[in-house]
Amino acid sequence: MNIIFFGPPGAGKGTQAKIIEDKYGLKQLSTGDMLRAEVSEGTELGLQAKEIMDRGELVSDEIVIGMIAARVDSPECSKGVIFDGFPRTEAQAAALDAMLVERGQKIDMVLELLVDDEALVARIEKRALEEGRSDDNIEALKNRLAQYRSYSAEVLPYYRAQGDVPAVDGMKPIDEVTAQIESIFASQEAA
Ligand code: ADP
């Protein structure tokens, strides 16, 4: 089963992905986490990406598609993947579809996590104190939210053209959000 968690920065995609990963034996692939790992390892790619990430802009399709392509065949991904923070452009979505088709697979579900902007800002301010991410500051965040509005208007219609994109109320407590996600899984399995 291959799933996409789609939603703005701070929506809780990573939190939910980790819970679902453990329960269903899926593998979370977060392009944001992969990029931060490249930055902290000081790789060439990390050096290229850091400034762009710190501004809250999108790194190139080529880079993120390459990172995903390098991982989908790993044994950890054999039961399926939770894509978190990817795809963020139509080109990324199309590349992902092509990658999966080559492997006789597809995206089985796209979930949209909905959270108010005000709550997002509060969550990211809290995370800034806890984790110290260099893009968790008000300027970069404003830009990330603006980017989100723009790329969601590109990516959501792409998936809606393929089928339903159920929405999850991400304002609820963590366990209730998980319960909503699991009930969507169950209803899709029954369909
Ligand atoms: P968030 O969703 O909280 O903004 P992420 O950890 O998912 O944070 O991503 C952090 C940054 O990494 C983004 O602002 C962007 O610069 C870069 N990034 C992550 N995924 C992608 C992607 N699929 N395409 C382009 N840039 C990406």
Tell whether 191 is covered by a domain.
no
Residue 174 lies in a domain: yes
The percent of residues in the chain predicted with pLDDT above 90, rounded, is: 98
Secondary structure of 88-130 as H, E, C letters: CCHHHHHHHHHHHHHCCCCCCEEEEEECCHHHHHHHHHHHHHH
Question: Is pLDDT above 90 for 191?
Answer: no
Residue list, ligand 1 pocket, CB within 6 Å: 9-10, 31-32, 35, 52-53, 56-59, 64, 85-88, 92, 135, 144
**Total count of domains within the chain:** 1
pLDDT in tens, 127-140: 999 999 999 999 99
The residue annotated as part of the active site, out of 79, 127, 142, 172, is 127
Residue 54 resides in a domain: yes
Tell me, yes or no, whether 46 lies in a domain: yes
At residue 190, the pLDDT reads: 79
Q: Are 114 and 165 in contact (CB under 8 A)?
A: no
CATH, residue 21: 3.40.50.300
Domain that holds residue 165: 3-186
Q: What is the pLDDT of residues 142-167, one digit of tens each?
A: 999 999 999 999 999 999 999 999 99
In the structure, what pLDDT confidence band is assigned to residue 188 with cuts at 50, 70 and 90?
Answer: confident
In a domain, 113, yes or no: yes
